[in-house]
Structure 1
Amino acid sequence: MPLDADDIARLYGTHARALVAYFARRTFDAQAAAELMAETFASAVADRRRFRGDDAGAWLYGIARHQLLQWYRRAGVERRALARLGLDPPGLTDDEYERIEELSGLAELRGRVADLLGALPDEHQLALRLRVVEERGYDEVAAALGVDEQAARARVSRALRGLAADLEAEAARGR
């Protein structure tokens, strides 16, 4: 049965905060999280007549996943274009930003990632810092590590897989 305006309002009341947290944990950007939540509900409103099923929440999170994937694709392009033009997009107020960070637990998550990163072997930590934090190319990472490019890629990949596995294990334990 298609959803009506009241159904969408109920979905918003039930899921808006959780969606902001969902996006903030994946983007590490409160502004992007707020925008993605708004885009998710805009898509839900536009497509509400096409909904068929029993679980509107699952349908909404499907839209959210799609919005997130699109954001990942366009975020890099948009950031580079804005930087070239010297423009800053309008931002959240400090209170809004802090509230989103609080809801999503970003401070705690950043701390956990830092702890887990510190537990990685030194060569993996350095490879990940050079590639992800400093945004160096693999050729530069390889030169800094004194290895070939394939070995540099392998170290970064192992570090990322290790961090992801540790974070998933913690999430499964309910930490």
Structure 2
Amino acid sequence: MSGPLTLVIGGAASGKSAYAEDLVINSGLPMVYIATAEAGDGEMTERIAIHRARRGIGWETRENPLTPGEELAALPPDRAVLLDCATMWLTNQMMRGDDPARAEDEFLAALAACRAEVVVVTNEVGQGIVPEHALSRRFREAQGRLNIRLAAQADRVVQVVAGLPLVLKGGAG
């Protein structure tokens, strides 16, 4: 029996991570944070530090930029998990040259099998202009397909815009 899955989707700097953190904090369960970002440069190092500081204490952090399904499989049902974020995970897959469709299937299967309560953060990337570069266009398409499949699998989907949640599917946000 899998635990409930919530997808929190929004644009960059929309407040989606803070909203997702609050969902996990308010669950009352022991909290696990699965981080998918890699600090490849100074700006990413700073962003990761800001996220860590905002979360504060009480979180068990597991860093897994490529195979978060391994972390999900190991979790007991009495946990609330924040996976932040599916967009960085997909970026990591594509930058390594991995097949995003295969990786996506494995990731979604791991989410379906996870017994813990899971909140996944992802970026909405389809509302902007068509990217100039082929890799950017491939990424946008892959991210769109991943988001569609995540939303279909999720019990609840919440879009965050300017820090405001809008429930798109499932119960109250």
TM-score past 0.5 threshold: no
RCO comparison, higher one (Cα < 8 Å, 6+): 2
TM interval, shorter chain, is under 0.3
Choose between structure 1 and 2: higher strand proportion. 2
Q: TM-score normalized by structure 1?
A: 0.24
Bigger radius of gyration, 1 or 2?
1
